Amino acid sequence: MTKRYRLAVRGVLPALFSVALFAMTGCEWEGSGSDDSWSERYDYMNFSGVYRPAPGRDFIVHSFEGPAGVDVGQRTVADREIAVGDGVATVLNGVLTERPIVPGSVSIVAGGYQIADADGSLLGSGASGNINYQTGAWSIDFGAPLSAGTPVIGAWRFDPSEDTTSVPGSTKPIYQLTVQHTGNRVTLIDNAGHRYEGRLGSVDTDGSFSDDGNREQRVSFHAEGMSNGQHVEIVGAFQALVRTQLISQRDEEGNVIGQVATPMVVTRSMTGTWVEPSGKIGRINAVGPDGQR
């Protein structure tokens, strides 16, 4: 890495960290300001261990959308035929495929029925039913058979960024990542045995404090590997909640001669972005082992 390029990174491009991180694969990136490059003084933040999905999620990699870097936000489905009356059944049901569904956003029209979503209950025109926002499963009792051929038309909003079940297009579900961390090098191994090799980057030691007084410290990383024949790049950060404790120093006779403020890791977590050559991305959200290692 040239001196000119290093200076540019320090002085001009800190706001473009995610782009610079890709460009400098193989270089030891140095931050500026409150950022610091990884060194032995941060070895107390060892991130080795097994990482599993964050609470409320089924997989570590989720919400597989594209193009890369774009938060797709909420989307709308309108005028979708979700069922058809047969002249016999009074209860109809089905599954809305686009989900998770934004609460309160579902509306259904069938013949003279106009049905709205009220906190998961589908009510209106004498009909009643329910909708599961996560699975998309719905059921409505119309009280009387709909005429044969009567379409049941639905509309709703869904939010891919809140998806807890979708998985990357190139892989099987990733529900576990084993992290091997030594110095500034890191290896991630998923539950299918695929390996992603990389390095740690900048260290932010000026993190905010949690409610119990622990400081959050973040360490960026960039790793690459192959998953089912597909090249994958992972750009993310490890987070450590760190508590400072006073450790007593003793002489040869066991007498306390002083105390040293020592950082101790309380919890570890990982966030990031999974990037495939097609431009698709997956969000990474995982929790790691607690306590000092």
Q: What is the pLDDT along the chain (293 residues), one digit of tens a residue?
A: 443 333 333 333 333 333 333 333 333 333 333 445 666 767 778 899 999 988 877 788 876 655 444 555 678 899 999 999 999 999 999 999 888 888 999 999 999 999 999 989 999 999 999 999 888 899 999 999 999 999 999 999 987 666 655 555 555 788 899 999 998 899 999 998 999 999 998 887 665 555 556 778 888 999 999 988 889 999 999 988 877 766 677 778 888 777 666 667 778 899 998 888 877 778 888 999 886 55
- Among residues 123, 158, 193, which one ends one of the domains? 158
- Among residues 158, 190, 221, which one ends one of the domains? 158
Range of the domain at 26: 3-70+166-287
- Among residues 158, 186, 216, which one ends one of the domains? 158
Q: Per the structure, how many domains does the chain have?
A: 2
Q: In this structure, what token pair is assigned to residue 231?
A: 């090249």
By the 8 A CB rule, do 123 and 116 touch? yes
Q: Is 293 within a domain?
A: no
Q: In this structure, what token pair is assigned to residue 157?
A: 């909003």
Distance CA(271)–CA(254), nearest Å, equals 44
In CATH, what number is assigned to the domain containing residue 147?
A: 2.60.320
Distance CA(242)–CA(250), nearest Å, equals 24
**What's this model's pTM, rounded to 2 decimal places?**
0.54
